[in-house]
Every structure is written in C-alpha cells, then in structure tokens.
C-alpha cells in the first residue's frame, strides 16, 4: 500500500510525500519548500526518488533545486513546462504513466490554472494529486488558460471513480465553501459539509483529502448542471460551459 504523508507549509500549502515500502521509493508532490521534506526523509529514513510537479508556480516548485541537490532525485513535470521548472529532468504529457515501486500514476493534462498544469492519478490506489486544478469545493483561478479549458479539464476529473481521494495543494475549503453557499444556498449536503469543515479548522485540522463523490455533491464547479444553482445565477438552461464561466467570474469577485 502506498503511504501518503501530508505536510502543511507556508500559509495554506500542502506538500505530499508518497512512499512505497516494498521498493523503498519515495516521491514528493509540489515541494513548495525543501526543509520540511528533508526533515521527514531523515526522520523516516527514506531516500527521495522523484519530485512530481503539477505546475510551475513558485509555491509548488520552490523546493525543487535544494531537494535535487541534496538527494539526487529526478524532477518530473509537464514537458511543455520544461523552461519553468527548476531542476527539470523528465517531461511527461497527457496519458503518460509514471511508476513508484509497484504503484503507477497516469498523467492527466488539466490546463486552465496554468497552460501546462497536469495531475497524477494513482488509479489502483484511488488517489488523485491535483495541484491547483481542483480544490475542496473550488477550482483554480484562470491565470493562463480559458474558462473552456478549465471546464474541459474538470470534466476529466469528474469522470474518475467517485471513491477517488482528492489531494489538492491548498487549504482553501472554508473560503470556497462560503462562496459555494452563495450560489447553492439550499444544498443540504453543502450546509452539512461546511459545518464539519468549520469544526475541523477550529481545531487546526486539515479538510483535505476529499473525494470525487463529495465534490460532485458540494463543489459548484462540478455542479453546473444543477437547476437550483443555474436559477440562483440566472443561467437556466445555458450551455454547461457558460454556467461554469459565470460561476468562475462570480468566485473571482467574491
């Protein structure tokens, strides 16, 4: 079984360490900073094999160079992002598979937040490491891509098995939930989820991981087909991508 350790860093980032105890291979997803990763590696007696980057933003690649220098690990990222990824070693594209011991992850291209954003889906382990494409009750801002690109990217993730555990890169759940309630105020599952999230955050506990099933029920960016949501934002019977675009604009102004 793949071991997953979640490291909260900076203001609201999460770094993920993945370890296969059989092969002793270890990967880190989106190391914003190096030292917390190095500390865990030393504590556990693990050797870092790979860095898996989802995109080029500094709060996802800031630890790349130091980790590569001190561990000799291989840096994997989107081929198109090669000039923007510190320590870049291996480029991947949509559909490629990376292996970590006995475990494998399919690379899924998810442009929108950035042009080269990718996510890593460990299907056999039911794990999705999705960077800034998908959040608990939210999705990434459109810095380099279009609303249509992001909508198409999210359709790929919506189609994954509902039991898939979703490991996103930020603790944004409370703010996302507050917005979600403005566009779907009568969603009882959303109301209940916000109560639980508020309790977790009051104890400084993470609200991540989520599941695709939970997001289908509560994430407005997965719910463009909700008639109640469409009514609230005055987009009844509009094209799904147009409903999504309006939700994204409303969130940007929230």
Question: Computed from CA positions of residues 105, 109, 112, 115, in that sequence, does the dihedral angle turn out positive or negative?
Answer: positive
Q: Which of 19, 56, 60, 117 is catalytic?
A: 60
Establish whether 55 is a catalytic residue. Answer: yes
Instruction: Output the DSSP codes for 82-93.
Output: GGGSTT--EEE-
Q: Which of 20, 30, 59, 81 is catalytic?
A: 59
Establish whether 57 is a catalytic residue. Answer: yes
Establish whether 103 is a catalytic residue. Answer: no
Q: Which of 19, 20, 30, 57 is catalytic?
A: 57
Q: Which of 56, 103, 113, 117 is catalytic?
A: 113
Q: Which of 19, 20, 30, 55 is catalytic?
A: 55
Name the residue among 79, 101, 106, 102 with its Cα closest to residue 90. 79
User: What residues contact 97, with CB distance under 8 A and at least 6 apart?
Assistant: 104, 105, 106, 107
3-state secondary structure at position 128: strand
Establish whether 59 is a catalytic residue. Answer: yes
Q: How far apart are alpha carbons 90 and 191 in whole angstroms? A: 43
Which stretches does DSSP call E strand in the chain?
Answer: 3-9, 13-19, 26-29, 50-52, 74-78, 90-92, 97-100, 103-109, 118-122, 127-131, 134-135, 138-139, 165-168, 210-211
Establish whether 113 is a catalytic residue. Answer: yes
H or E element, residue 13: strand 13-19
Q: Which residues pair with 138 in a beta bridge?
A: 135
Q: Which active-site residues does the annotation give?
A: 55, 57, 59-60, 113, 132, 170
């Amino acid at each position: 079984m793949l071991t997953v350790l979640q490291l909260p860093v900076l203001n609201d980032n999460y770094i993920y360490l993945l370890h296969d105890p059989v092969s002793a291979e270890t990967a880190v997803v989106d190391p914003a900073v190096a030292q917390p990763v190095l500390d865990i590696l030393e504590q556990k007696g693990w050797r870092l094999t790979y860095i898996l980057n989802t995109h080029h933003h500094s709060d996802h690649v800031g630890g790349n160079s130091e980790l590569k220098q001190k561990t000799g690990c291989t840096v994997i990222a989107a081929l198109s992002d090669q000039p923007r990824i510190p320590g870049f070693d291996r480029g991947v594209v949509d559909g490629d598979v990376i292996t970590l011991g006995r475990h494998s992850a399919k690379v899924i291209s998810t442009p929108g937040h950035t042009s080269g954003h990718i996510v890593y889906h460990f299907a056999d382990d039911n794990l999705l490491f999705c960077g800034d494409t998908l959040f608990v009750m939210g999705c990434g801002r459109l810095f380099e891509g279009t609303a249509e690109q992001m909508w198409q990217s999210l359709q790929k993730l919506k189609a994954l098995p509902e039991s898939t555990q979703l490991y996103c890169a930020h603790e944004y759940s409370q703010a996302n939930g507050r917005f979600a309630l403005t566009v779907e105020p009568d969603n009882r599952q959303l109301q209940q989820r916000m109560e639980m999230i508020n309790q977790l955050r009051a104890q400084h506990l993470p609200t991540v991981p989520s599941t695709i099933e939970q997001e289908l029920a509560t994430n407005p960016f997965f719910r463009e087909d909700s008639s109640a949501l469409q009514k609230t934002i005055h987009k009844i019977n509009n094209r799904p991508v147009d409903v999504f675009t309006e939700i994204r604009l409303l969130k940007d102004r929230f």
